[in-house]
Structure 1
């Protein structure tokens, strides 16, 4: 067994800070993906807007997504664009995101991080069409000044492929209060 080199308290604190940053980055990204699913029930007090910095950039890159989505800057512009695809807008009957091949790199000073993922999106549209989409996401994050949370500063998504898909959506989620839907 290799002996563990002695570490200073300062170096341990730096390592811990970077590990906590990585965890917060992962949390912010997985909440973003979950809030883009349909149907979804956000956690109490949760919103897409809260996941982005005030001057964040969301952009589609590559031949397909640059044209389909373009570039949006600012929290309000990003949420407005995403809202075109989320309830109550009739776009998706069901939409689920799966992410894999994760790498998260946190700067040594823990003031910036970049995450990379491959995403699979299984979508069923209200018009009956369905497709499976593969995309590459590269996302820059910065820590929030007022909390331990990290926020999305720049999200880039590039479509890699799409394929036909058959989706058999289940009934909508039951009401939050646990009652049976009418």
Structure 2
């Protein structure tokens, strides 16, 4: 192998590592923005939260819940406008009991980069705590797709499939924040 070939091979490897790192940040940021209370500094309200989430998506992206449990619950949204409506519907409706805490934990990561396209798989867990003291633990498999654009990597597909939903004991968590201190300057 010539020195030039070695340099080109190293450059390709660095590009893949940089792509994986950016995709990892995008997926983690998406989950972070979906947490309740929203921990992102400077987020004024849920409409602003949705704007920030939409910056992560390509114009032609798809968001879908799949499998026997999520097909009817989440459905499929194709394109920026439909995905925006999906998120506006989630945060725009009054819930009773209200959601007090929702935190996403990602694990079992696999990212596969192929030029300007990539896929990523994760398993995520999330506790949900409600104002009436009820709580549940939800786990899903994520099989997402990404594309490199002029503005960087964007999500082209969010596909989530239920692994399980389990009730937690009443008042499962006895101390949790009403707002995130990360939101303060």
Q: TM-score, normalised by structure 2?
A: 0.82
2:173 and 2:153 map into 1 onto residues whose CA distance is 34
Structure 1: which 5+ runs fail to align? none
Which residue does the alignment assign to 1:106? 113
Match of 1:115 among 113, 120, 137: 120
- 126-135 or 167-176, which deviates more: 167-176
What root-mean-square deviation, in Å, do the aligned CA atoms of Structure 1 and Structure 2 show?
2.4
Structure 2: which 5+ runs fail to align? 44-50
Match of 2:81 among 76, 98, 102: 76
Q: Answer yes or no: is 1:94 the counterpart of 2:101.
A: yes
Structure 1 residues 162, 175: closer, same or farther in 2, change over 3 A? closer
1:84 and 1:24 map into 2 onto residues whose CA distance is 28
- Structure ranking higher in helix proportion: 2
Match of 1:164 among 146, 156, 167: 167
Structure 1 residues 119, 27: closer, same or farther in 2, change over 3 A? same
- 92-101 or 168-177, which deviates more: 168-177
Which residue does the alignment assign to 2:58? 53
- 160-169 or 112-121, which deviates more: 160-169
Which residue does the alignment assign to 2:6? 8
Contact 2:39 2:182 (8 Å CA) reproduced: no
Q: Could you list the runs of 4 or more consecutive aligned residues of structure 1 that deviate by over 4 angstroms after TM superposition?
A: 43-46, 87-91, 174-178
Deviations 1:33-86 (A, max 9, x none): 000000113256870010100110000000010110000011222122123333
Q: TM-score, normalised by structure 1?
A: 0.83
Q: Give 1:87 shift.
A: 6.9
